[in-house]
Amino acid sequence: MPRELLVVLAIVAATAIAVFAVTRSLSVQPGRSFEEAYEVKRALLAGRLSGVAVSVEPKSMVINLTLDGVSLEVPASRVLVIFPARGPVFEEATPEPWRVWGNGTHAGAASHLKVVDDGYTVRVTYFNASRYTGASVCVYASGGRVLRFHARSGGSVEWYSFTGSREVVVEEVRVGPCQR
């Protein structure tokens, strides 16, 4: 092959690689900051997020209960309320039902089980949603599925254990577009 042809082929190959690298970096470079995830979390804890374009994505999960030595699996879900943003792979360690979350290309808030024990009732709350993209998201405290169990001698819910008699209530909280 003539030397000029090799030089032209090398230039074409280098240009193709450069174009690929630039377009790839532009496609994952959103204009939003990972720090906005903290605002999303605060708004969801308050029950309403508005004016911010997000995607709502439900993820299937199972709640593992053990009551009086009997294991139960309750189908449930986890909800991600996310937007494109560069940032760390991260999930905030907090007892709150919404946690700041990121996977490197997206950030936002992820729901988490909430377990409250008042000595008589262990209340387990999880979040559910339909896939949705929009600029308003509300957390609806009522209208979801409710399951009731009774434990006479104790049990556990995921990481939480208790002894003695308790009613165990598993509640679904719906997340979706805000109704006017």
Tell me the pTM: 0.78
At 58, the pLDDT band (50, 70, 90 cuts) reads: very high
> Is 65's pLDDT higher than 50?
yes
Q: What is the pLDDT of residue 46?
A: 96
Query: Cα(115)–Cα(65) distance, rounded to whole angstroms?
Result: 12
> Is 104's pLDDT higher than 70?
yes
What digits encode the pLDDT tens for the residues 11-53? 766 676 655 655 555 454 447 999 999 999 999 999 999 999 9
Q: What is the pLDDT of residue 34?
A: 95
Q: Which residues contact 172 (CB under 8 A, 6 or more apart)?
A: 76, 125, 126, 127, 128, 144, 145, 146
Q: What is the mean pLDDT of residues 54-82?
A: 95
Q: What is the pLDDT of residue 107?
A: 98
What digits encode the pLDDT tens for the residues 113-163? 999 999 999 999 999 999 999 999 999 987 788 999 999 999 999 889 999
